[in-house]
Structure 1
Amino acid sequence: RGHRIELGEVESALLTLPEVRQVVVLATGKPLRLMAAVVGSIDCSDDLCQHLAQQLPEYMLPSQWLLLPSLPLSANGKLDRQQLLQLAEQQAPQTDQQRQPPCGEVEQRVAAIWRELLHCPQVHRQDDFFRLGGDSLLATRCSTRLRREGLASNHSLRQLFATPRLADFAATLLPVGAPPTLQVVPDLANRYRGFPLTEVQQAYWRGQSQDLPLSCGTTYLIELDGERLDVPRFERAWQRLVQRHEMLRAELLDDDRQVILQQVPPVQVQQHWLKCGDAETARQQLAKLWAQRPRQRRSWPLFEVHAVNYTGQRCRLGLFFNYLTLDGLSIKLLLGELAQLYTEPDHPLSPIGLSFRDYVLQVQPSPEQLEQAHAYWRERLDDLPGPPTLPLRCSPQSLEETSFSRREFRLEANQWQALRQRARESGITASVLLLSVYAQVLARWSNGHAHTLNLTLFDRQDIHPDIGRVLGDFTSLVPVSFYPEVGRSFLLQAQQIQAQIADVLQHAACSSIWVQRQRAHRVGPQAAALPVVFTSTLGLADDLLGELPEDFPDIVPGGLSETPQVWLDHQLYEHRGALVLCWDAVDALFPEGLLDASFATYTEALVRLIDADWQYPLALPLPPMQAAVRRQVNATARPIAPRTLLSAPFAMSAERLALIDGESRLSYGQLREAALRVAAGLLAQGVKPGEAVGVCLPRGSDAVIALFGVLAAGACYVPIGIAQPTARRKRIEQRATIRYTLDTQQLPQLLAQAPLSAPVDVSVDSPAYVIFTSGSTGEPKGVQVSHRAACNTLDDLNQRFAVGPEDRV
C-alpha cells in the first residue's frame, strides 16, 4: 500500500510469541502483499493477527499465512525461498475464495452503497474503496449517502480516506438516525425571476474588472473536427438544447444577480469559409475569432458557435462557452446530448424537473458545517503557504493585456491505464497521482518551497433525482498545500496530499475564496492570491465523447480557457481511453521557455512513473537546455602547472605589499621571513612533513603567518575557530591527531626562532589543510585538501572574478 516495510520487524514481532518457533515473512504476488510462514504450535492465524495488531500498524500485517510443520530447506540446508513462494501461490486461490462477505448490518449497508457508486457486483470486508476505483468525488457522494441513511461519524469523509477498507471504515460508523432530508422544491412560478450569483460566479464576474490585474473573460473553447458536417442539422440539435437547458438562456442582471430568459431568438452557427488550407489553418482561424470575441459579456447569448469550413469538405467547430453559466461537468453533459441529438434528432431526452435557480436558492451549507469549516481554516491561516514562487518576467500588475496560451499532451490509452492501475493498487486516486506530480514540478521551479494550489471542485450535491442532468456553474474552489521534503518517496508524498484533500473536502463548506479574503487581511491581497489551479474532471462523465456517432465531429487538440487573476490552470480529461493534459497560462508573466520546460518535465515524469519505483523520490531531471548550460558553465577543466600553495607567495618580489591588517603593512619579504621562522620552530618541536598542525588564532596577519609557517614546515594546517568550545576543540585535535596547535601563546615563541633558508619541499599532492565541519551525527568531520586541489580552486576563483596581481581582496 505504498509503505516501506522491514520484513525483519514483522518476523521479530511474531517471534515474541512463545508458540512460534520459526517465522519467515516475504513480499509476494502482484500487487505485493505480505505472506508469513510460521512454524509452531499455532492452530489459527487469527491469533497471530491479533497479536501483531497490538504491536504493528495495520499496513504491516500479513494478508496471507502459511502454518507449516517445518520450513522448506534446500539441499545445502538453507531456507528454500522459491519453494516457500510456490506454497504461497498454491494457497492464494483458496484464500481468494474465502474472502469474507460484509458482516453485520452496518457493513452490509455500506457495501450496498459502494456497489452502487463503484459499479462493483461484489464488495468484501477487506476491499479498499480506492482500489475498487473510488475517487474524491465518489468518496464525497458516499459520505452524503451515509448521512442520508443515518450512518455517520464525526468526520465520515475524512475517515473513508484514512481507513478505506470496508470492515475498518464500517467500524467507525454508528447508526444515528437519518437527519432531516434536504428537499429542493422546484419553484416554477418564479423560474424567470432574478437570483444571486454563486460565490464563484461573483468572483469570475468581478475579476473581469479592468481595474484589477490579470482581468480577462471566463471563456472556454472546445474544438471539434469532422467531415461533411450537416450545419442545419447541427443548428437544430443546438437549438433544442438551448430550449432544454435554462443556463443556455441565462444572462447577468447586475454584478450580483442573474436571470433565465423564457424565450430567446433562434441560434445560428457562424460559418467561415477558407478557400484553401488544412486543419492547422482552420485552427488559426478559430484563434483569430478567439482574439476578436468580446472579453466581457453579460447579455445573452453567453456562448458562440463557429464552423470553419476548409479543404476536403471538412469542418472545424469552435464552441465558445462561458464559465459563468457552465462548469466543466456541464459542458461534458452538453456535448454528450449534442452528439446524440445530431445523430437522432427526434431522440427523446429525459425531462429535467429541477432548475439551477432552485439549487442556488435552496442548497446552502448548514450553520454547523460552516462553523466547523471556519474553525478549520482559521487554524491553518497563519501557516498556509502562498502560491508557487515561480520565476516571473514581470509583475501581474504591469501587464496591460491578459492573454492565455495552451500546452497540450496526450498520454495514450495503454500508458494511462497502466499508470491509473498503479495508482489504484497503491490506494491513491488518479487525480491525486496527477496533482502530486504537478505540485512537485511546480516546487522544482519554485526553489523547492512549499506552496498552495487552488483545487477546482464540481460541487453539485445529490439532492434531487434530476441533479445529474442540470447544467450550471456548480464549481467551488479549495486550497491544497504541498510541502516538499527531500528524500521522501513519491508515494508517501502522494498519500500525504490525499490525506490533506480528505480534510479539505470535509471542510469544503468554506471555499478558497473565503480563505483568500481572510489571508488578505493579514498579508495583503496580492500575497493572499492563489493563482495556480488544478482542475480534474476524472470521475465526472469520464471519457469525453468516447463513443461518437460516425458522422459527428470529434474533439481534437486545440481549445483554450481563460480565468481572471489566474497564472496557470492545469486541466485534464479522458478521451477515447487516453488522458489529455492541458496547461493554460499567461505566457507573458514568465521567462521565455519556462513553461515549455516545466510542462515537458511534468509529462516526462508521468511516463516514467509507469515503470518507476514509487518508494523512491520522484526524479525530475533538469530540462535539456538548462542541463547543457550548466555543463558549459561547469566545463572548467584545463591544464594547470603543478605547484604548492607556497609557490606563488615565495616567487613574488620581496618589496611587494602582501598584507594590510588595520594600520600595519606586511610585504611579501616580511611574510616569507616570518613564515620560515614559524616553520623552523615547528621542526624544532618535531613536526613531520604531512603532519596536522592546529591553528587557533583570530583573523589577521598573525593567522596568515601561522598558516604559511605550517606549510613551509611541510605540514598541513587545521584551522580551529577561537570561539570553539574546549570540548569540541579537543575532539577535533583528537580526530586529526594534532600534537601541536599554534595559538596566541605559541606563535610569539616560534617567531623568535632563526628562519629556515627555504620551505621544506613537499609533493603537490600532499595535504595542505584539513577543514572540519559538523557531521550529521554531531561529531566534527574533517575534509583533507591537497596543495594541487587548493591551487586549482584559487585559479578558478581568480578567473571567474577576474582577480589579478593589482587587486586587493
Structure 2
Amino acid sequence: MARKGTSTDPSGCTGTAAPAWTLEALRAEVAALLGAEPAEVDDDGDLFALGLQSLQLMQFTNRVNRAGGRAGFTELARDPRVGSWYRLLSSRTGAAGARSGPARPPAEAPSTAVRPSTAVPPSAAPGREPFPLTPVQQAYWIGRGDDRPLGGVGCHAYLEIDAAEVHPGRLEQAVRALTRRHPMLRARCDDDGTQRVLDASPWPGLTVHDHTAGTRADADTAVAGLRERLSHRRLRVGEGEVFDVQLSRLPAAADSRRVDRIHLGVDLLVADVHSIRLLLADLAELYDDPDALGELAYDFPSHLAARGTARADERERAKEYWSDRLVGLPGGPRLPLATDPEDVVRPRFVRRTHTLAPHTWERLRARAGEHGVTPSVLLATAFAEVLARFSGERHFLLNVPLFDREHDAHPDLDRIVADFTSLVLLEIDLGRGTGFAGRARAVQQRLHDDVGHAAYTGVDVLRDMARADADHPRTAPVVFACNIDAPLVPDAFADRFGELSWMVSQTPQVWLEHQIYRTRDGGLLLAWDAVEELFPDGLLDGLTAACAALLDHLVMADWTAVPDLPLPAGQLRRRHEVNATHRPESGRALHEEFFTHAGTRADAPALLWGAEGVLTHDELAERALRIAGALADRGIRDGAPVLVTAPKGPDQIAAVLGVLAAGGSYVPVGVDQPAERRARILAVSGARLVLDGTGTPAPAASPAEVLPLAEALRFRPWPRRCPWARTTRRTRSSPRDPPASRRGSRSATGPR
C-alpha cells in the first residue's frame, strides 16, 4: 500500500505528484544525453536508432524520478520516443495538455524523493561504524575462499603502464594523497560480512624495483616474474590491503631514453570500472600537486544507506518478477571443458585482445541504429552467437554487470571510488527473432525488462537458483562487461604517464569474461579474460577469433539473415576425421551393445562421478534390468513412450537403459522444467507412464501412472537373455520429432 500523500501507477513507481513537464524541456534533456542539439531530436524518432544507450537510459530514468516524475526504465525502453515519453509523464502529472507551458527542467524540479544528506560525517572520521557489503561484494568476498570452486583468487584488476622517467618520491606522495581522498582505498572487509573504513591506509609505501644498472634482457626477465606474482595477487582485504602501486625502473633504451613501468593492482571489492578511471585521473593530478584534491563531501556507506531506504519497495517488486521467472531460467552456456571446474586448484586467467578500428566501429553503430539496436546489445548478441556456436546451445544465461551510479543523487557521487556494480542475469534465447537483427531486438527487449527489475540483483537470483536446484544448481560463469562510454585510461593520465601497456583481471567462480572498452581514437578494445586450464587447447583462440570475425562480417552483412559461423579449422578437421571413419555395423542398438559386453566387464567401472562414486558394469546392468522388469510388468513394450525425469547421475542412466531394455522409448524431461511444460510434453508424447526419480509426490490429476524410480529398483530383474526390442529414442527438442536411429555406431562401452 502506498504511503499517505503518495500515489502508485502501473509502472510500479511510487512518489508525490510530479511537476509538469514541457515537451521542450524533455527534448532538451534527451538531446543532452545524446550530445545533440534539441532541434536534431525528432519527437517521433527511435532514440536507440539515434544512439541512446541502456546506461544513459538508466541515468535518465533516475533523473526523471528524482525530479518528481514517475516512470520505469522498462516502460521508457519499450517506446523510446520523446513524444511517447512526454505523453507518459504528462499523464501522471495531470498536465497532458500543457505542451508549452512553463516548467522547471528536471535538475531544478522540486522533488520529495529520498535524497542522501551531505551532513554526514566524512568517511575518514574516527569511529566510523561497519556497514554491510553489497550483494556483489558479498559474492566476491565469499567466492575468493579456497573452499569454493574456482575460488582462491581475488576479484582483482592489474594494470601496467610504461611511462617516461617516473619520479618515485612524487608517485608515492600522490598515492598517499589518493588514499586520503578516497575512503574505500582504506576499507577492510570483516568475517561477519561487513566492511569498515580505517583511519589510515596500511599501504606500506612505494616499492621500487631498480633495474637501471643491468641489461635490458635481465630487466625484462625480472619484470616478467614480477607480473606473474602481482597479476594474480590475492590482496589481504581482511587487513585493509585493497590497493597497491609499485614501480620498476628500467635501463635506458638504445636512444638513451628511459621508460619506467608502473604496476597498479586494485581489488574490485572497492572499485568498479568508473572507479579505476577516477583512480588514474586523480593519480595524475596528485602527481603534479599532492594538495590539488581534498576530501569529498559524500561517501559510499551514506549512499548505500540512502539507496536502501529509497529502493525497498522497488526491490520487492523486482523479487516477485524474478521469482516468477526462476523455474524457466537456463544456466550458463555449456562450453567444452578440458577439466571440471572443481578440479582447478588455483585459477590463472589469461587475456586475449582484439582491436576494432574506429571506422569499423562507426559503421557497426550505424548498422545497429538502422535496426533499432543499441551498440551494447549489438556486441552482446554477437558474443552470444559465438557462444551458441561453440556450446551447441541457443538458450543460456549471460552474467551482465551494471554500473549503477545515480548521478544526480549527490554532486560528489561521480567522484567516489567504490564498487557500485550490480549484476543482471540476461537470458539469451536465440530461438527468438528472425535473423541477426531480430535476435538482437529480442535480446534488447529482454535486457530492458531485466534492467527494469535490477533492484533484485543477479546475485540474489543465483542464490535462489542454488536453493531451488539443490544437487545441481544452475550457474552463470560467463560474463559480458561492456564499458564503451569512455576509454579505460582517462586523458589526464595518458597525457602525464602514457597508455595502458598490459592488463588482466580475474573474478572468483568465473570461467570467461568478455570486456569491451572504447579506445582513445574511437575504436574498441575487445578483451577476453579466461581460466586457461578449464578449456581444451585452441578453444579460446578459436572463440575470440570468431567474435572478431563476426563483427567484421556484420559491417556489410544482411542482418535479416542468421550469421554463418564456421567452426575453427582444427575442430572442423577433427569432425571430418571422425565422420570419415567407417566401421562395420553390429546390427544392434547402443543399449544392446552395453548389455552384450556387461558380462565380460562385470567388475570394470561403467560410471564414475564425484570424488569416489563408481558403478561397475554388472551393477549398472542389474539396476537397469530391475527397472526393465518393473516396466514390462506394467505393459511397456513395442516402443511405448515412457517419460523419464530424474536428477543427473547413475540412476538417471540406469532408468534410460531400463526403458530401452524393456522395449520402450524414453522421453527425457528435465527436473527443472516448469509444470506446464512437463504437462505439455506428457500430452504430446502420449506416454501413459512416468518413471520419476525426483522423490516428489505425483500430481493428483496426472493422466499417467507415476512409477517412483526407487520402487522400480526393488523389482525382480528382467531376464538377461531376452529378445532385445529394436527401439529408438525420441529427441529432446519435442516428443513429436521423428525418432533418431542409433544404429551403425558402436557403444561407448564397447571395445576401443
TM over 0.5: yes
Change (3 A) 1:427 1:276: farther
Change (3 A) 1:621 1:416: same
Change (3 A) 1:163 1:176: closer
In structure 1, how many angstroms separate the alpha carbons of the residues matched to 2:433 and 2:83?
34
Change (3 A) 1:222 1:266: closer
Equivalent residues of 1:477, 1:513 under 8 A apart: yes
Equivalent residues of 2:326, 2:465 under 8 A apart: yes
Change (3 A) 1:172 1:618: farther
Q: Which residue identity lines up with residue 199 of structure 1 in the other structure?
A: P
Scaled by the length of structure 2, what TM-score is found?
0.67
Equivalent residues of 2:154, 2:233 under 8 A apart: no
Aligned residue for 1:327? 272
* Deviation (angstroms), 1:159: 2.4
Aligned residue for 1:108? 24
In structure 1, how many angstroms separate the alpha carbons of the residues matched to 2:232 and 2:428?
38
Aligned residue for 1:272? 209
* Deviation (angstroms), 1:230: 2.4
Q: Radius of gyration: which is bigger? A: 1
Aligned residue for 1:449? 394
1:214 aligns with 2:158: no
In structure 1, how many angstroms separate the alpha carbons of the residues matched to 2:378 and 2:69?
30
3-state DSSP class of the match of 2:484?
Answer: coil
3-state DSSP class of the match of 1:527?
Answer: coil
Q: Which residue identity lines up with residue 509 of structure 1 in the other structure?
A: A
In structure 2, how many angstroms separate the alpha carbons of the residues matched to 1:511 and 1:147?
20
Q: Which residue identity lines up with residue 259 of structure 1 in the other structure?
A: R
Aligned residue for 1:390? 335
In structure 2, how many angstroms separate the alpha carbons of the residues matched to 1:573 and 1:555?
12
Change (3 A) 1:547 1:300: closer
Change (3 A) 1:294 1:143: closer
Aligned residue for 2:507? 563
Q: CA RMSD in A?
A: 3.0
Q: What are the Cα deviations for residues 607-665 of structure 1, in whole angstroms up to 9, with x where unaligned?
A: 2212222121122111122233345556689xxxxxxxxxxxxxxxxxxxxxxxxxxxx
Aligned residue for 1:224? 161
In structure 2, how many angstroms separate the alpha carbons of the residues matched to 1:141 and 1:295?
33
* Deviation (angstroms), 1:362: 2.2
3-state DSSP class of the match of 2:158?
Answer: strand
Equivalent residues of 2:432, 2:439 under 8 A apart: no
Change (3 A) 1:531 1:265: closer
Equivalent residues of 2:271, 2:417 under 8 A apart: yes
Aligned residue for 1:403? 348
1:145 aligns with 2:63: yes
Q: Give 1:18-167 correspondences, 5 Å limit.
A: 105-122=21-38, 123-153=41-71, 156-167=72-83
Q: Give 1:603-642 correspondences, 5 Å limit.
A: 603-632=548-577
Q: Give 1:269-348 correspondences, 5 Å limit.
A: 269-274=206-211, 275-277=214-216, 281=221, 284-290=224-230, 293-294=233-234, 296-311=236-251, 312=253, 313-342=258-287, 344-345=288-289, 348=292
Q: Which residue identity lines up with residue 241 of structure 2 in the other structure?
A: P
Change (3 A) 1:336 1:423: farther
Structure 2: state its 5+ residue gaps: 1-19, 94-109, 583-637, 640-737, 748-752
Aligned residue for 1:197? 133
* Deviation (angstroms), 1:598: 0.8
Aligned residue for 1:86? none
3-state DSSP class of the match of 2:473?
Answer: helix
In structure 2, how many angstroms separate the alpha carbons of the residues matched to 1:444 and 1:280?
39
Q: Which residue identity lines up with residue 285 of structure 1 in the other structure?
A: G
* Deviation (angstroms), 1:508: 0.7
In structure 2, how many angstroms separate the alpha carbons of the residues matched to 1:630 and 1:461?
51
Q: Which residue identity lines up with residue 225 of structure 1 in the other structure?
A: D
In structure 1, how many angstroms separate the alpha carbons of the residues matched to 2:554 and 2:402?
26
Aligned residue for 1:730? none
In structure 2, how many angstroms separate the alpha carbons of the residues matched to 1:105 and 1:205?
45
1:512 aligns with 2:480: no
Change (3 A) 1:371 1:179: farther
* Deviation (angstroms), 1:549: 5.4
In structure 2, how many angstroms separate the alpha carbons of the residues matched to 1:546 and 1:573?
14
In structure 2, how many angstroms separate the alpha carbons of the residues matched to 1:607 and 1:428?
17
Change (3 A) 1:449 1:124: closer
1:240 aligns with 2:177: yes
Higher RCO structure (Cα 8 Å, ≥6 apart):
2
Number of residues of Structure 1 aligned to a counterpart in Structure 2: 538
Q: Give 1:405-804 correspondences, 5 Å limit.
A: 405-462=350-407, 463-485=409-431, 488-524=434-470, 526-539=472-485, 541-542=486-487, 544-546=489-491, 548=493, 550-556=495-501, 558-576=502-520, 577-632=522-577
Change (3 A) 1:413 1:281: farther
* Deviation (angstroms), 1:588: 1.4
Scaled by the length of structure 1, what TM-score is found?
0.62
* Deviation (angstroms), 1:141: 1.2
In structure 1, how many angstroms separate the alpha carbons of the residues matched to 2:51 and 2:336?
38
In structure 2, how many angstroms separate the alpha carbons of the residues matched to 1:281 and 1:164?
55
Equivalent residues of 1:285, 1:308 under 8 A apart: no
| Counterpart among 112, 121, 124 of residue 188 in structure 1 | 121
* Deviation (angstroms), 1:442: 0.9
In structure 2, how many angstroms separate the alpha carbons of the residues matched to 1:332 and 1:351?
18
3-state DSSP class of the match of 2:386?
Answer: helix
Q: What are the Cα deviations for residues 753-794 of structure 1, in whole angstroms up to 9, with x where unaligned?
A: xxxxxxxxxxxxxxxxxxxxxxxxxxxx9xxxxxxxxxxxxx
In structure 2, how many angstroms separate the alpha carbons of the residues matched to 1:347 and 1:509?
38
3-state DSSP class of the match of 1:174?
Answer: helix
* Deviation (angstroms), 1:292: 7.3
Change (3 A) 1:600 1:283: farther
